Structure 1
Amino acid sequence: MDKFMKEAVEEALKGVRENHGGPFGAVIVKNGEIISKA
């Protein structure tokens, strides 16, 4: 799993731990750099 996918999984787990709904996570990458995550 690459570093960006790992970051998205971490966001999903964070949402589950904080009761923000289902296990959803996303990162937006531009030129190899994360510019946004949710």
Structure 2
Amino acid sequence: TTGVAVRILQRVLALTAAIWHNWRTGQPIMRSLTAYDH
């Protein structure tokens, strides 16, 4: 179960980093969320 938790945490961190970066650069957020989701 530890491996699953780590994978989920990494995914959340990746999404958070993408949102933060897009907020900093003023880019649309939803487009990056869609890109990270696939």
TM-score w.r.t. length of structure 1: 0.50
Higher helix share: 2
TM-score w.r.t. length of structure 2: 0.50
Q: Which has the larger radius of gyration?
A: 2
Higher strand share: 1
User: Greater relative contact order (Cα 8 A, min sep 6): structure 1 or 2?
Assistant: 1
